[in-house]
Structure 1
Amino acid sequence: MTNPSYRALALQTVTHSVTGLSVPDARAAIGAAIARIGAQIRASRAWIGPDLRLVVLPEYALTGFPMGEPIPGWRDKAALAPGGPEYAALAAIAQDQSVHLVVNAYESDQHFPDLYFQACVILDPSGEVVLRARRLYSMYSPTPYDVWTRYLDAYGTEAVLPVARTPIGNLAALSSEEILYPELARSLALRGAEILCHPTSEASSPQLTPKAIARRARAVENLAYVVSANSGGLTGIPIPSDSTNGGSELIDFEGRVLAQAGAGESLVAAAELDLEALRRHRARPGMGNLLARAKPALWAREYGRHEGEQPDELGDAVPERAWFAQRQRATIERLRKAGVIT
């Protein structure tokens, strides 16, 4: 049975980086982070109420991001194995609290044993994985697009842009800067997504940041809720810890901010999501129904004419960190030759 109205929480929790730790110490830190987050979810549900049905965690909340560490080393230290013990512990939290839990983590992959990917994973109240969305836009980490042919051979096209149809609505996920790419959110909306879950760990400011502007735009463009969880601080690395601290928020399908957290660990970014209201809005004729007015065939043709990052650029290689910047310079040069950049 569908829950037409319920509460969602963008849990703002501090991230403890495992950069510089040994593999055993990093794995212990991941386990400690899961236990701490589990306790916070339990306390948050007791505070917010039993109608809390969706909890979104910040980007890479269990590990932080790699600061210059080589791909194989970070994979061994910080990547979770699908079906591994960390996901079992997270599934137990979802079961215990009867919530859909959105986790963002680095993952190993049996088909690409030398790499890792960043993923948003949604666990339902039974502890089952109902969505796994591998990040498609990343500046310094491998993505499925970098090994596109092999990835599609392993998983098929439906795994690239997944939407989970659940009793609390049709859920999709975007990692961090993916909110800046309108074509990604629109593609998910055209596949039925109603709620865009957005784990992020981003620079926070009292002013509207590019990602904050993008969240409002993606909500309006797609008549979708956005539930965005930012870090409540990032420790264990030289970057000042409060640079990524605060601004977790829930935005409705007309771009209105329903709730927003300040700095620090917080459950303040929680609000009611009304599926019936969203669905009425999407079914209502008028100028404001931007989803119904989309022209996908037009833009598919136009997009296909242009240069940009290319699929399969990684090939079979295990890249050094410098490769990602080199790839971008090569893309900029293609754009220059095409007259896009002068």
Structure 2
Amino acid sequence: MNGAEVVYRASLPAPFTENDFFEITNRARALENNMYIVAPNIGSYHLHPESKVGIDAGGGQSMIVDYRGQITGKQRDTNGSTFVSGVIDIEALRHHRESAQVTNWLKDVRSELAQIIYEQPVYPKNMYMDKIPGKHAEYKREVIDKQVASMQERGIWKKPSR
């Protein structure tokens, strides 16, 4: 929020790009925040310098989404490096924010309902200033599990009854 007009959305690996998760969430964030989303995804990568064929871990689907949730550019290909282009009309966005009575959602946000989540940081900042990122199991243990526990302790999420 805070008036952002164009936001970069980091890539997701397959299968999240292939089951429409990436597109749905990009379009939803653009629409509900009345902003453009530029969401490039990673291309293929090579396991070692001698590799002649890259491995597709990203699934493609790079896109640009406008403030109405419409896709203005999309690249489905995942073979190597590609690009996506689309129109980003900042003046149209500003006009929409000022004049749309219904679909400029941010003017109607009940921010007090979400206030509890923003009182304290959720995701740890600067985690890798002094160390190299670890493997998945370490990340789950050191970050994800602690984030979930913190959300439960703060009363944002309830624990399952099991």
Same-fold status (TM-score > 0.5): yes
Q: Distance in 2 between matches of 1:227 and 1:284?
A: 24
Q: Distance in 2 between matches of 1:337 and 1:279?
A: 37
- In structure 2, what residue type is equivalent to 1:341? K
Counterpart of 1:236?
47
2:33 corresponds, among 210, 222, 225, to: 222
Q: Distance in 2 between matches of 1:257 and 1:320?
A: 33
Check 1:251–1:304 CA distance in 2 against 1; reply closer, same or farther (3 A cut). closer
Q: CA deviation at 1:341?
A: 2.0
Q: Deviations over 1:126-153 (max 9, x none)?
A: xxxxxxxxxxxxxxxxxxxxxxxxxxxx
Counterpart of 1:208?
20
Q: CA deviation at 1:273?
A: 1.3
Gapped regions of structure 2 (runs ≥ 5) = 49-53
> Which of 1 and 2 has higher RCO (CA within 8 Å, sep 6+)?
1
Structure 1 SS opposite 2:94 = helix
Q: Distance in 1 between matches of 2:158 and 2:71?
A: 35
Counterpart of 1:326?
141
Q: CA deviation at 1:303?
A: 2.4
Question: Is 2:114 aligned against 1:303?
Answer: no
Check 1:287–1:259 CA distance in 2 against 1; reply closer, same or farther (3 A cut). same
Question: Is 2:156 aligned against 1:341?
Answer: no
Q: Distance in 1 between matches of 2:64 and 2:147?
A: 35
Counterpart of 2:4?
193
- In structure 2, what residue type is equivalent to 1:340? K
Check 1:318–1:251 CA distance in 2 against 1; reply closer, same or farther (3 A cut). closer
- In structure 2, what residue type is equivalent to 1:246? G
More strand by share: 1
Q: CA deviation at 1:234?
A: 2.0
- Asked if structure 2 preserves the Cα contact closer than 8 Å seen for 1:234 and 1:245, the reply is no
Aligned positions of 1:139-288 closer than 5 A: 189=1, 191-203=2-14, 205-209=17-21, 211-236=22-47, 241-263=55-77, 264=79, 265-267=81-83, 269-288=84-103
Normalising by the residue count of structure 1, what TM-score does the alignment of the two structures yield?
A: 0.36
Aligned positions of 1:83-162 closer than 5 A: none
- In structure 2, what residue type is equivalent to 1:208? D
Q: Distance in 1 between matches of 2:40 and 2:133?
A: 30
Q: CA deviation at 1:198?
A: 2.5
Q: Distance in 2 between matches of 1:214 and 1:337?
A: 26
Structure 2 SS opposite 1:226 = strand
Q: Deviations over 1:94-145 (max 9, x none)?
A: xxxxxxxxxxxxxxxxxxxxxxxxxxxxxxxxxxxxxxxxxxxxxxxxxxxx
Q: CA deviation at 1:278?
A: 0.8
Check 1:232–1:224 CA distance in 2 against 1; reply closer, same or farther (3 A cut). same
Gapped regions of structure 1 (runs ≥ 5) = 1-188
Q: CA deviation at 1:221?
A: 0.7
- Asked if structure 2 preserves the Cα contact closer than 8 Å seen for 1:234 and 1:244, the reply is no
Q: Distance in 1 between matches of 2:31 and 2:64?
A: 13
Q: Distance in 2 between matches of 1:255 and 1:218?
A: 8
Check 1:283–1:266 CA distance in 2 against 1; reply closer, same or farther (3 A cut). same
Q: Distance in 2 between matches of 1:208 and 1:262?
A: 12
Check 1:293–1:275 CA distance in 2 against 1; reply closer, same or farther (3 A cut). same
Q: CA deviation at 1:297?
A: 3.7
- Asked if structure 2 preserves the Cα contact closer than 8 Å seen for 1:332 and 1:341, the reply is no
Normalising by the residue count of structure 2, what TM-score does the alignment of the two structures yield?
A: 0.70
- In structure 2, what residue type is equivalent to 1:280? H
Check 1:287–1:202 CA distance in 2 against 1; reply closer, same or farther (3 A cut). same
Q: CA deviation at 1:196?
A: 1.0
Q: Distance in 2 between matches of 1:201 and 1:310?
A: 18
Q: Distance in 2 between matches of 1:235 and 1:337?
A: 43
Q: Distance in 1 between matches of 2:67 and 2:76?
A: 22
Percent of aligned positions that are identical? 22
